[in-house]
């Protein structure tokens, strides 16, 4: 789960796996970079075509492609920057930069959506002619570009969250091109121009949905929110029950540097005669294998000696978090 950049920062020797991770990382970088160039280049073509044809649907889809180009560019940038080593001022490296960029990009999407909605309302009240033939040609070209981008990205590491997010963006563009083709066919067949602003509203709603998810998820990470599915009480109870010699787990906290880099810290209180280093290694192994935390800071504390009248928890119990 730890990206290749983590291996470089932590200085761990991963043997033969290091080369394969590095190769996959470079392959993902190239795939996302190529898809970003395709998307950004055709975005300009679609915008100019939409203006020439008078099609708000094409202009809206170009806006959608702009957001996806930004997302793909940020993904490419994240792959590139993540390879840089940490330094004295940035001990966790540079992964958080892509999260900050995603947050700003998501806020910008709200402005794009508002403009499309306002323009669509104006065109519904005052329909304008649309050149259906030009609109169809540009939409078909967009479909071809999106299929090519999807093919390039699908050849990368599909387990990588950054790459999977990029693929979802391209699928959204592909659906927008299909919708624009449908609108162009309706205009050519019936001359019903309102289909163009109606379709642009649907595309805008797709953009708005994506924008909200980007802002919500990136904002959660920036606010040091816990990773999705994190249950402190369940993790504490699991470790206390599964790792021999652990009497209690307390002060358990989790957050994320990026979507792919969850972190956890905790304090483990050990039963008497338990070897601290053995317990620490077992706790870290359990966190990685069971809960996906490859980076854990575990503080070890010996159990207090019982005194008369004192009550304590028996070994294997977890203190509520």
According to DSSP, the β-strands at 246-256 and 262-270 are antiparallel
Specify whether the CB–CB gap between 248 and 271 falls below 8 A.
no
Instruction: Say how far apart CA 302 and CA 157 lie, in whole Å.
Output: 44
**pLDDT recorded at residue 173:** 77
Question: Which pTM was predicted?
Answer: 0.68
Confidence of residue 290 (pLDDT cuts 50, 70, 90): very high
In the chain, % of residues over pLDDT 90? 31
Q: How many CB atoms lie within 10 A of CB 152?
A: 18
Distances (CA, A) of 321 to 170, 229, 235, 264, 302: 42, 16, 10, 14, 19
| Tens-digit pLDDT profile for residues 130-149 | 888 998 999 999 899 989 98
pLDDT: which is higher, 39 or 4:
39
Q: Are 61 and 177 in contact (CB under 8 A)?
A: yes
- Per the CB < 8 A criterion, the answer to whether 153 and 167 are in contact is yes
Out of 11-20, 74-83, 92-101, 185-194, give the one with best mean pLDDT: 185-194
Cα(222)–Cα(87) distance, rounded to whole angstroms? 20
Return the pLDDT at 305: 62
Confidence of residue 321 (pLDDT cuts 50, 70, 90): low
- Kindly report, residue by residue over 235-289, the tens digit of the pLDDT: 999 999 999 999 999 999 999 988 778 999 999 999 998 999 999 999 999 999 9
Please indicate whether residue 250 or residue 101 has the higher confidence score (pLDDT). Answer: 250
User: For residues 203 and 183, what is the distance between their CA atoms, to the nearest angstrom?
Assistant: 12
User: How does pLDDT run across 42-77, given as a tens digit for each residue?
Assistant: 999 989 998 998 888 888 778 778 877 887 887 788
pLDDT tens by residue, 15-52: 344 444 454 567 778 888 888 899 899 999 989 998 99
The H or E element containing residue 252 is strand 246-256
pLDDT at 221 exceeding the cut of 50 = yes
Q: Which is higher by pLDDT, 199 or 12?
A: 199
Which whole number is the average pLDDT over 200-213?
81
Distance CA 95, CA 253 (A): 20
DSSP state of 156: S
pLDDT for res 306: 58
Nearest to 39 by CA among 78, 80, 67: 67
Query: Residues, the chain, total?
Result: 321
Q: Which long-range contacts (CB under 8 A, 24 or more apart) does 33-37 make?
A: 33/76, 34/149, 34/152, 35/72, 35/149, 35/152, 35/153, 35/166, 35/170, 36/69, 36/72, 36/73, 36/75, 36/76
pLDDT > 60? residue 13:
no
Which residues is 246 bridged to in the sheet? 270
Average pLDDT, the chain: 80
**Could you tell me which residues are beta bridge partners of residue 301?**
269
At residue 255, the pLDDT reads 95
Most confident range, picked from 95-99, 115-119, 298-302: 298-302
Per-residue confidence band for 211, with pLDDT thresholds at 50, 70 and 90: confident
């Amino acid at each position: 789960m730890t990206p290749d950049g983590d291996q470089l920062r932590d200085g761990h020797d991963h043997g033969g796996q290091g080369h394969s991770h590095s190769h996959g990382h470079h392959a993902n970088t190239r795939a996302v970079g190529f898809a970003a160039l395709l998307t950004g280049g055709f975005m300009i073509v679609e915008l100019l075509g939409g203006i020439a044809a008078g099609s708000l649907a094409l202009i809206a889809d170009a806006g959608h492609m702009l957001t996806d180009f930004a997302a793909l560019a940020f993904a490419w940038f994240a792959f590139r920057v993540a390879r840089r080593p940490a330094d004295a001022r940035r001990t966790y490296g540079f992964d958080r930069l892509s999260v900050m960029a995603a947050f700003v990009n998501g806020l910008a999407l709200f402005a794009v959506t508002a403009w499309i909605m306002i323009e669509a309302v104006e065109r519904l009240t005052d329909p304008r002619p649309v050149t259906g033939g030009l609109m169809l040609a540009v939409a078909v070209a967009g479909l071809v570009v999106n299929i090519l981008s999807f093919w390039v990205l699908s050849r990368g590491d599909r387990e990588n969250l950054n790459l999977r997010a990029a693929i979802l963006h391209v699928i959204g563009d592909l659906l927008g091109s299909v919708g624009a083709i449908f609108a162009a066919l309706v205009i050519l067949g019936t001359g019903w121009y309102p289909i163009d602003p109606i379709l642009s509203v649907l595309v805008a709603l797709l953009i708005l949905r994506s924008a909200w998810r980007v802002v919500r998820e990136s904002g959660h990470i920036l606010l040091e929110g816990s990773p999705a599915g994190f249950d402190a009480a369940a993790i504490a109870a699991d470790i206390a029950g599964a790792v021999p010699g652990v009497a209690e787990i307390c002060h358990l906290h989790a957050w994320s540097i990026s979507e792919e880099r969850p972190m956890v810290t905790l304090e483990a209180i050990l039963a008497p005669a338990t070897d601290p280093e053995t317990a620490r290694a077992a706790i870290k192994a359990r966190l990685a294998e069971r809960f996906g935390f490859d980076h854990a800071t575990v503080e070890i504390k010996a159990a207090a000696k019982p005194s008369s009248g004192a009550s304590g928890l028996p070994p294997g119990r977890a203190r509520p978090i």
